[in-house]
């Protein structure tokens, strides 16, 4: 399981991934999570 706490990284309409030095739109964040589930054995994602 992955607890993303997305509300903690949301500001001004984007999700800020400080560790990666980039910001994502909501659609891009969904795609990012989707890619993670393909790469890692993630069973669920919780916010």
The sign of the dihedral angle between the CA atoms of 25, 29, 34, 40 is: positive
Q: Which two tokens stand for residue 36?
A: 């993670």
**What is the pLDDT at residue 47?**
86
pLDDT tens, position by position, for the chain (47 residues)? 889 999 999 999 999 999 999 999 999 999 999 999 999 999 999 98
């Amino acid at each position: 399981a992955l607890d993303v706490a997305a509300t903690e990284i949301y500001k001004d309409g984007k999700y800020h991934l400080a560790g990666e030095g980039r910001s994502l739109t909501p659609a891009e964040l969904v795609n990012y999570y989707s890619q993670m589930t393909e790469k890692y054995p993630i069973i669920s994602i919780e916010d």
